[in-house]
Amino acid sequence: MFGTGCASEENGIRLFVASSMTDFIQQIAASHMTAHPGSGLEINIAGSGTLLSQLEEGAGADLVILAGSDYMLRLQNFGSFLPPVQVASTSLSVVVSPELVAADISMQDLRVGRLQGAACVISAPCGQLAEEFAAATGLDLNSFTREANVRSVLAKVERGEVDFGLVYRTDFLSSEAQIGEIPDSGAEMFVTFYSLAVARDTPEMTQVASLVDLITAPSGQEQLRQLGFEVP
């Protein structure tokens, strides 16, 4: 979790965001603070499953952005959030560590099982997508290390702690490490959708609406495209 500005109960927006949206929401937060100097913005970044668990345990949020349609449906079942708005999508990617970029790794090499892989826990949308991809391609995930969110998987690949990982393509594009992407893996067929939802009883509806406008406006959609996301 990190805060932007001076958040308080009186003027602070509590924003819960899926970890794979980190780069985008940092850009949006900067734009929001420029437009509303002195306003508060408290941002909680985690895997969508973790965010839902926190909300179920009583955490409060004014605006939530989740990956995975099932996760947003679960949020809607709380009854305390307005209907969701889809804002973006991205697909799965199979990435390899810097040490293996020049090794011409294929999906068959991964199926053999000699290389160490990493994927998200199944309670995260990226973990569910990894399970679907593995079932379709004959990839055995039993030996994989499991991480709480997709950014943790990416970090392990970047540091060479694992040979490869299943992440979102937007995470691959955001990486500044010399990692590689396995071509023709079929991972691009497995897609996650992102939606936002506003708390019905938020005391900061005007500020939240302004933040939503930044996300859904053409400029916000262009920022998403530049980061590699698809937009509705």
Identify residue 23 by its one-letter amino acid code: D
Q: Are 137 and 130 in contact (CB under 8 A)?
A: no
pLDDT at 11: 59
pLDDT at 91: 97
Q: Are 41 and 12 in contact (CB under 8 A)?
A: yes
pLDDT at 96: 98
* 159 HSE (CA, 13 A, CB side): 8
Nearest to 42 by CA among 8, 65, 10, 66: 8
pLDDT at 8: 36
pLDDT at 118: 98
pLDDT at 224: 97
Phi, psi (degrees; rounded to nearest 5) at 139: -90, 130
* Straight-line distance from the first to the last Cα atom of the chain, in angstroms, rounded to the nearest whole number: 28
pLDDT at 40: 87
Spatial CB neighbours of 72, under 8 Å, sequence gap ≥ 6: 66, 84, 195, 197
For 77, counting Cβ atoms within 10 Å of its Cβ (0-12 exposed, 13-18 middle, 19+ buried), the class is exposed
Nearest to 153 by CA among 175, 133, 137, 134: 175
Q: What is the pTM of this model?
A: 0.88
Residues of the chain with pLDDT under 70: 1-11
Q: Could you tell me the sign of the dihedral formed by the alpha carbons of 161, 133, 181, 227, in that order?
A: negative
Distance CA 45, CA 40 (A): 16
